Amino acid sequence: MRAENHNLFAALRAAFPADLDATAIETADTATPLFYTWRDLERGTAMLANLIDSLALPPASRIAVQTEKSVEALMLYLAVLRAGHVFLPLNTAYQASEIEYFIGNAEPAVVVCAGKNFGWVSKIAFVAGTKHVYTLNDDRTGTLLDRAAFHSDRHTPAVRAADDLAAILYTSGTTGRSKGAMLTHGNLLSNAQVLHQAWGWQQSDVLIHALPIFHVHGLFVASHGALLAGAKMVWFSRFDPRATAARLPQATVFMGVPTLYVRLLGEAGLTPEACKGMRLFVSGSAPLLLETFRSWQERTGHSILERYGMSETVMLTSNPYRPESARRGGTVGRPLPGVGVRVHDDQGQPLPACEIGGIEVRGPNVFKGYWRMPEKTKEEFTADGWFKTGDVGKIDAEGYVTIVGRSKDLIISGGYNVYPAEIEGYVNDMPGVAESAVIGVPHPDFGEAVVAVVVAKPGATLEGGAISAALKQQIANFKVPKQVYVVAELPRNTMGKVQKNLLREQHKGLFAR
């Protein structure tokens, strides 16, 4: 009796439309638009999978990839799944010391990098014991494609169990070394299927794909969504607000981080008419300001759907798809079907509605654990099997989840708990404020002191003392920042998240005696 195949690629391939010669992906920012059909995806992934098979790798070998975004890079991801190995995407911003850590930790059998980086990446890989290093560029060149061209365009997907590893995603590592989150075929497929239903995906959809594909949002949420629906993608290798706005009339779905929405709001081409055919705007990976949510409604007539997920869990919650009026700015919606979300205090006791505490989750989407870190894995799960996200938040009486911040961002000043997101909410509502970040820094008397770093809107003038004075009229004194800095911009990582660890490091000596 043949075992059932739970290979994620097999499920995605089964969703391809009957007409394999229809366009699957159209490039939007190449000199001449390129049109990839579903047959191209079938043949390209087969040839790459056959190349991988020819290497006779041990089962579940890791294949590490650090390349620029391209359709061929997406095909490589699908081919790794197809061949039954483990995909390890690496942020294109990582430098030599970081790559050395990831390759040393994951011990990949294969490394694929951009041609321009081959010299230093291959040296690191070969020293670590990796036997195969290929190049892949964003102009359809590289040794990977040269070698794959000699292989057959027919391939039978490897049989995999739902619990077999499909990918390892290294967390951003804001404190200590990055951890490799192990995601299975079952984790990824269950989440893709839930989102397919929750967000109303149709074969007639057209997704504008402007996100990187080394991260959950672009690689899993966006790509899986379109592939599982058999829907076309309009592919941007890099986000361009003007070009993206120009493509909205031909699309139905757009996914972005909050920064992308802010930049689109600066485009004259963003109008209700341009968005008339759009049915879904999704935001995630960083908090969406309420002002952005409201400005988007006013400009386009649409409400952005904010959701919540992590590298370890893929998507956990979502604002409602229908009715659109049920989407609440400032919240990440309700738990997705099959996903459990609860809030506990520091002693592990459940908290009532609207009380702030640590967010814990469980479900078929929750990862298998951290790569080669059994003790850390055990530490991050409760005795009854719930994953401790490290996020702090609350659930209201109607089930809507609000994220207040990360537990590591919690500030304890004079024995009182201060949640940065609460203070940021007040600051961001002030006239002339574009955004803010609130951090805690060492203080000789209070243990930690609250510090705010604020960015002004173009043309506005802000003064730190005036911001502090205004806050004293709105919140408890222990929450009011001891110091307010006005800066040109906040430090961010490639996904648009504010790097508070850098701000804490920058200001750590502020109150030193």
Residues 225 and 341 in one domain: no
For residues 141-176, one letter each, b for 16 or more C-beta atoms within 10 angstroms of the residue's C-beta and e for the rest, the string is ebebbebbeebeeebebbebebebbbbbbbbbebee
Range 187-214 average pLDDT: 97
User: Is 255 among the domain residues?
Assistant: no
Is the bond preceding residue 89 a cis peptide, omega within 30 degrees?
Answer: no
* Rounded CA separation 220/371 (Å): 19
Q: In whole numbers, what is the pLDDT of the chain averaged over residues? A: 94
Residues 201 and 349 in one domain: no
- pLDDT at residue number 176: 55
Lowest-confidence region among 25-29, 318-322, 451-455, 472-476: 472-476
Lowest-confidence region among 187-196, 299-308, 390-399, 406-415: 406-415
User: What DSSP element (H or E) covers 294?
Assistant: helix 290-300
3-state helix, strand, coil in the chain (%, to 5): 30, 25, 40
Higher pLDDT, 64 or 2: 64
Residues 390 and 440 in one domain: no
**pLDDT above 80: residue 495:** no
pTM of the predicted structure, to 2 decimals: 0.86
User: What DSSP element (H or E) covers 10?
Assistant: helix 8-14
Residues 182 and 52 in one domain: yes
- pLDDT at residue number 513: 63
User: Which residues are CB-contacts of 489 (< 8 A; sequence separation ≥ 6)?
Assistant: 455
The structure tokens listed for 263 are 């930049």
* Rounded CA separation 465/50 (Å): 64
Residues 40 and 146 in one domain: yes
Residue 64 CB burial class (10 angstroms; 0-12, 13-18, ≥19) = buried
Cα–Cα distance list, 348 to 363, 398, 401 (Å): 19, 23, 19
User: Is 500 among the domain residues?
Assistant: yes
The structure tokens listed for 292 are 């952005």
Instruction: Give the end of a domain, one of 181, 210, 238.
Output: 238
**What domain range is 363 assigned to?**
332-407
For residues 25-40, one letter each, b for 16 or more C-beta atoms within 10 angstroms of the residue's C-beta and e for the rest, the string is bbbbebeeeeebbbeb
Residues 212 and 82 in one domain: yes
User: Is 294 among the domain residues?
Assistant: no
- pLDDT at residue number 419: 78
**Contact in structure between 404 and 392 (CB atoms under 8 Å):** yes
- pLDDT at residue number 174: 41
Residues 147 and 221 in one domain: yes
Residues 463 and 442 in one domain: yes
Cα-Cα-Cα-Cα torsion 118, 122, 125, 131, nearest 10 degrees, comes to: 120
User: Is 45 among the domain residues?
Assistant: yes
CATH code where residue 357 lies: 2.30.38.10
User: Is 327 among the domain residues?
Assistant: no
Residue 85 CB burial class (10 angstroms; 0-12, 13-18, ≥19) = buried
Residues 355 and 496 in one domain: no
User: Which residues are CB-contacts of 414 (< 8 A; sequence separation ≥ 6)?
Assistant: 445, 446, 447, 478
Range 336-355 average pLDDT: 96
Residues 458 and 496 in one domain: yes
User: Is 371 among the domain residues?
Assistant: yes
CATH code where residue 444 lies: 3.30.300.30
The pLDDT confidence band at residue 289, using thresholds 50, 70 and 90, is confident
- Specify the number of domains making up the chain: 3
Quote the strand ranges of 290-432, DSSP E.
Answer: 305-310, 314-318, 334-335, 340-344, 357-362, 369-370, 387-395, 401-406, 411-413, 416-418
- pLDDT at residue number 346: 87
**pLDDT above 50: residue 290:** yes
**Contact in structure between 493 and 172 (CB atoms under 8 Å):** yes
User: Is 40 among the domain residues?
Assistant: yes
Cα–Cα distance list, 467 to 103, 287, 312 (Å): 46, 22, 37
User: Is 316 among the domain residues?
Assistant: no
Residues 475 and 431 in one domain: yes
Residues 17 and 108 in one domain: yes
Lowest-confidence region among 74-78, 92-96, 122-126: 92-96
- pLDDT at residue number 404: 86
**Contact in structure between 510 and 277 (CB atoms under 8 Å):** no
Which amino acid, residue 50? N
- pLDDT at residue number 172: 60
Range 51-61 average pLDDT: 98
- pLDDT at residue number 411: 87
CATH code where residue 166 lies: 3.40.50.12780
Q: What percent of the chain has pLDDT over 90?
A: 84
- pLDDT at residue number 268: 97
The structure tokens listed for 227 are 């592939």
Instruction: Give the end of a domain, one of 196, 218, 238.
Output: 238
Closest CA to 386 of 306, 308, 312, 332: 312
Higher pLDDT, 407 or 344: 344
- pLDDT at residue number 173: 47
DSSP letter assigned to residue 433: E
- pLDDT at residue number 441: 92
Instruction: Give the end of a domain, one of 238, 262, 297.
Output: 238
Lowest-confidence region among 53-57, 65-69, 169-173, 283-287: 169-173
- End-to-end CA gap in the chain: 74
What is the per-residue pLDDT across 130-155, written as a single tens digit (0 to 9) for each?
999 999 999 999 999 999 999 999 99
- pLDDT at residue number 212: 93
What is the per-residue pLDDT across 418-439, written as a single tens digit (0 to 9) for each?
878 889 988 999 999 999 999 9
